[in-house]
Structure 1
Amino acid sequence: MSSLRPASVCDTTPLQRFESQSSSGEEPSSPTAASIVAAAAAAAAAASAASTSNSHQLQLQLQHQHPLQQQEQLHNNNNNINDNVKVDLQLPPFVGVTADAMRLANGHSANGAKQRRRGTAQIFGRVAVDVSLLFCLGFTMFGLSLYVEPHKRGFFCNDLSLRHPYKESTIRSWMLYLMCVLLPVAMILLVEFYRAQDWSRHHNQPGSGYYLCHMELPHWAVDSYRMISTLFFGLAVEQMTTDLAKYTIGRLRPHFFTLCKPMLLDGTTCADYVNEGRYIEEYTCTAKDISVKQFKNMHLSFPSGHSSFVFFSMIYLAIYLQRRVNCSRLRMLRHLLQFLLVMFAWYTALTRVSDYKHHWSDVLAGSAIGIVYAFLVTSNFW
């Protein structure tokens, strides 16, 4: 009865099961590493059994032969084994597919590593170029303010525009840097992060292609760096333009007489009648509490540095919001922020006149410089 029992699946080798499935027209099961190893082991066992049987038959033949004949028989048998004994192992077709998949995976892995190295080199190269440019501009401005003296411009003793009182600035320098540097940076980071989160909820966002320490940088970080580096570059070039005009022209500030109290080389002052309407070029400041920095700063009225700085930053940020915040439900909020930014720039410029730090024409020229550079550096936003 046992001889009539169908062979169990467990009684057949994996190779036999695959051949039976192929002959019956059934689709083979999905390839696994275990099936491949089992097929290879079965083939090796069959080859080992055949080799053992041939060796046993050879020993029986050699027992009845002469020793010389035994050696010749052994030599011929070894040659026959080397020439004729072959293991015809027909592995399933998925073995080649698996090998191709492994080679393809290895290729993708190598390409990924190469892409990461290229992306890291690109971002480091770009950052190095940007930092070098900003360093050169900053070093030039620092050397200009430290070693270059502004043009010493003369004055008329009866010039009433130079007789205003001295006042402290309404918008201090730290307030200006806070509003024109830190606020734009924080707002750019917030907007770019929001845009990335909103996009990822509706689309599959591809990688940025830039890597840092084998980690791919997100798109919002790359875009934020691009916007912030453009902001810093624009601030540097507009400030360079403003300082160049300041040191070249050397216009006196409205509080010049109050802070300097000039005295002519002949010992007379502008209070003397003989000097009325006279243009003075050689003089000395008699004020005891004036410092070298204040004396130098008195000749840097045109154009207004505060006005060019604040107008560039605020207009740049307003254009950035117009370009990047294009969500319809945030339209009114975007316009409100743009209005507040422009109003802050306008108020800062007005205080430079009311604080007697600049003439109105100084503020106008400085504002124009900031606005022009803001539109120039944001021209690629459109």
Structure 2
Amino acid sequence: MSAENRVNYERIKELWILYGDYAVLLLVSLSYFILDITMLPFQRQFSLEDLTISHPHAEHERVPTKYLGLISLLLPGFTLYGIGRYRKSPLLFWKSLTGLLYSTMVCGLIVTIIKNTVGRPRPDFLSRCNPLSSSPKTGWVDLQVCTTPWKSSTLQDGLRSFPSGHTSFSFSGLGYLSLCIASQLRMFRKKTSSWAIVMFFLPLTLACWIGISRNEDYRHHQEDILVGGLLGMTIAYICYRQIFPPLNDASADIPYAQIEIDEGNSDSRRVVEEMV
């Protein structure tokens, strides 16, 4: 390799070290938002006799989508900011925030692909479909029996039941926050006080309530909510572990980047200097 090529290689390597995580995060986020808008659900057949999809369609949800981001992303983000200020560590905030964004965006992308590919009818699907009175009452039918046009977002969204997007997104954000709280309170390395246990379970309780509200609004079946919660929490844990050591580790409250700096890693130090 020539001297010029080596210099270019080292420059590209340095740029990747500094900005690689953010580039991948941007790619994942754009993919999520684009697919969420453009991807259409599979037009699955259904039965007009199916009582599980014959619930009324509620116009007003207990947790509207526009508030989901505030609860599951902004609230954890501000909490992590407060933790970083309390610990006087900008690095702790930026790295934990990066993990939060990865958790929610990766979860959103995966769930969007799955729910559109599966095309499972929601519990209120027949109310959205408003089938023709002349439709056959037995056997399988398709969207041809619906008086609501296919171009309607109401009908399209009626085939996006599995898994629950609200539940998975809330657990990917609030579940990630719970893991961060557990690490900062050192819950799994010493005897834990009652207030620490409450702080750990508060975000998880809020995520559970969001999931339950989806069943109360007849937006999702119980198994949609269960799978969504498990998926969101699994992604949250995987993303958390990319940033922090295990919860029972002696350094569980310190991000890997800080540990590398303390061990004299110059690349990690440059990353921190660029961020803060």
TM-score (norm 2): 0.75
Deviation per residue, 1:34-89 (Å, 9 max, x gap): xxxxxxxxxxxxxxxxxxxxxxxxxxxxxxxxxxxxxxxxxxxxxxxxxxxxxxxx
Q: CA RMSD in A?
A: 2.6
Query: Aligned AA for 1:251?
Result: R
SS in 2 for 1:316: helix
> Cα distance, 1:277 vs. partner?
2.6
Query: Looking at both structures, which has the greater relative contact order when contacts are Cα pairs under 8 Å and sequence separation is at least 6?
Result: 2
Cα 1:127/1:349, change in 2 over 3 Å: farther
- Identity percentage over the alignment? 24
SS in 2 for 1:245: helix
1:321 aligned to 2:181? yes
Instruction: Quote the Cα distance in structure 2 between the aligned partners of 1:287 and 1:151.
Output: 17
Instruction: Quote the Cα distance in structure 2 between the aligned partners of 1:308 and 1:282.
Output: 28
1:146 aligned to 2:37? yes
Question: Is 1:307–1:370's contact at 8 Å kept on the other side of the alignment?
Answer: yes
Cα 1:172/1:125, change in 2 over 3 Å: same
TM-score (norm 1): 0.56
Deviation per residue, 1:99-130 (Å, 9 max, x gap): xxxxxxxxxxxxxxxxxxxxxx96x7555323
1:193 aligned to 2:85? yes
Q: Which runs of 5+ in 1 are unaligned?
A: 1-120, 197-219, 270-274
Q: Given the alignment, which residue of 255, 268, 271 partners 2:134? A: 268
SS in 1 for 2:87: helix
List aligned pairs for 1:156-175, cutoff 5 A.
Answer: 156-167=47-58, 168-175=60-67
Q: Given the alignment, which residue of 309, 312, 333 partners 2:172? A: 312
Number of residue pairs matched?
230
1:286 aligned to 2:147? yes
> Cα distance, 1:330 vs. partner?
9.2
Question: Is 1:261–1:285's contact at 8 Å kept on the other side of the alignment?
Answer: yes
Instruction: Quote the Cα distance in structure 2 between the aligned partners of 1:230 and 1:126.
Output: 16
SS in 2 for 1:381: coil
Alignment correspondent of 2:274: none
Q: Which runs of 5+ in 2 are unaligned?
A: 1-12, 247-276
Instruction: Quote the Cα distance in structure 2 between the aligned partners of 1:314 and 1:151.
Output: 30
List aligned pairs for 1:32-181, cutoff 5 A.
Answer: 126=17, 128-167=19-58, 168-181=60-73
Instruction: Quote the Cα distance in structure 1 between the aligned partners of 2:77 and 2:119.
Output: 33
> Cα distance, 1:356 vs. partner?
0.3
Question: Is 1:171–1:348's contact at 8 Å kept on the other side of the alignment?
Answer: yes
Instruction: Quote the Cα distance in structure 2 between the aligned partners of 1:333 and 1:177.
Output: 27
Instruction: Quote the Cα distance in structure 2 between the aligned partners of 1:351 and 1:127.
Output: 41
Instruction: Quote the Cα distance in structure 1 between the aligned partners of 2:83 and 2:24.
Output: 26
Instruction: Quote the Cα distance in structure 1 between the aligned partners of 2:245 and 2:72.
Output: 20
